[in-house]
Amino acid sequence: MIDAVTLAVLNGRLEQIADEMDATLYRSAFNPIIAEAHDASHGLYDALSGETLVQGKSGLPIFVGAMAFAVKAVIDRSPNGFKDGDVFIFNDPYEGGTHLNDFKLVRPFFRNGKLFCHLASVGHWHDVGGNVPGNYNPVATECWQEAMLIPPVKLYDGGEYRPDILAILQANSRLPNSVLGDLNGQVAALELGMRRLNDLLDEYGDATVLEALAELRKRAVKLMRANIATLPDGNYSFEDYLDNDGIVDEPLLIAVDIEKKGETMRLDFSRTSPACAGPVNIARSTAVASIYVALKHIFPAVPANSGVLEPIEIIIPESSLISVGKPKPVGGYTETILRIIDVMFGALAQAAPERVNGMAYGTINALSLAGYRTDEKRKGQRWVMFSFFGGGHGGHPQGDGLNHGNAPISTATIPPLEILEAAYPVRFTQWALRPDSGGAGKHRGGLGAVYEIELLEQSADAFIFGERGKFPPQGVLGGGEAALNVFSYENGGEWKQPPAVSKMVGIKLKQGERVRLETPGGGGYGPASQRDPAAQANDLRLGYLTK
């Protein structure tokens, strides 16, 4: 049996391999969503089942569960096995989770002619076709209106590169050079992972590393069971809503009923709304991945591998909004998984208030601006700015929520305004904290932000895909709700807002006109009557509150 010291060393070394793969892609990708925001992930996956073995600390947590489905999709499509040097590429969200911007590369890893495991990479590509630049199309009714859809195909066949695959990918993007740069970065990350894993196996031996991987999974199961056992047995329910699906302006229910018994939990999402016409549907693999992220927030010490979900039974009807198949649109998956995390927090706050925060701001506010350059040097050149934006996190047992953070589905960062201004013909005329946007409480919710962006080119189209325009982030244990999300845009000297509140396509901007995002804060924790008066006075002094 492997000793504890060797196990700890190998766990650290394996995580370091994934971390180095992440860093390689961040430093080589062309698009700022990967290079600056770090919307990507790498890991090691089981040779036969595709289950997550190891993920690094800097990759997006939402990809941990989703990428296991992606690797399994490649395994299922390869009944005759693999060749050393094979690399598969695809973006099918119904098999591999998330949405069509996320391109997955899977590389079977061989040792001495025998399949040892799989290495995988996923990254959010800037533009992959579809009706809307940047691909967050809030009025899509089928997946082909969102982006090109690529099933698992071989980019490398036994080590032989297939340039025809790259040609297809580039032909279907508004930004073909970005596609080339991001793809090469992912290939390089896998190459580095191969070298580092070979070095580790040469040093410790294949059998010892395999034993360590098996033991790490067993320990994740044991630790998860122990954590669940600390919660009181009982039934806990919570529900929340999405504003609309972008097509029909009616709210959509996300609900969970939790039965906790002993060392196990049963999560039942049967009350969630059925599949909708618009792009806030998600595949089951994406729903499972978001449940994993919620559990990791509540039980942070549990290792990042497939053992986390073994004591959990998940019930999601096939007809549900959170278990759709092709061709239902899924481009706005981020908004729906944020709501899954919110209802998980809301339900488990009843069982473990000391572990749970008020809700975070609950929307990434995906904004696209796109047009053509008019200066002589770059005349006619296509430009597409896509970015997501931050807000406040919920108050928590130890203190106030984080001001202006990123969404709790990820470890990504908000792209710096200097990078966006350098890359695109825009100017940020405001980038500030939003006063009065955090929920009141014993521990106040963090503040959202105000972003105002001016167009410098002659014209552009703008597209917004957000949430929390009708249903604010809620507090827990008596904490107050945060401010609503507000999007507005200038048109003919007037400020206007979308009819569907948080979603709109085809906004026409002229030079000098602006768009503005006022993002929600986080929900409060505990009753506001219990807040320290000195903390309240300090909030007023800093301008976090205006009254």
pLDDT tens sequence across 315-362: 999 999 999 999 999 999 999 999 999 999 999 999 999 888 999 999
pLDDT of 202 > 80? The answer is: yes
pLDDT of 305: 83
* Local confidence band at 306 (pLDDT 50, 70, 90 cut-offs): confident
For the chain, the average pLDDT equals 95
* Local confidence band at 410 (pLDDT 50, 70, 90 cut-offs): low
* Local confidence band at 114 (pLDDT 50, 70, 90 cut-offs): very high
Average pLDDT over residues 68-96: 96
Rounded CA separation 136/119 (Å): 28
pLDDT of 161: 98
Cβ atoms of 333 and 143 closer than 8 Å: no
Rounded CA separation 200/348 (Å): 40
Closest among 398, 13, 342 to 193, alpha carbons compared: 13
Q: Please tell me whether residue 518 adopts helix, strand or coil conformation.
A: strand
pLDDT of 228 > 70? The answer is: yes
Closest among 185, 216, 217, 212 to 200, alpha carbons compared: 212
Average pLDDT over residues 486-510: 96
**Backbone dihedral angles phi then psi of residue 422, each to the nearest 5 degrees:** -70, -30
Closest among 475, 447, 450 to 543, alpha carbons compared: 447
pLDDT of 65: 78
pLDDT tens sequence across 255-275: 999 999 999 999 999 999 999
pLDDT of 411 > 90? The answer is: no
pLDDT of 409 > 80? The answer is: no
Q: pTM of this prediction?
A: 0.95
Residue 62's alpha-carbon distances to 58, 72, 159, 228, in angstroms, are: 12, 17, 30, 21
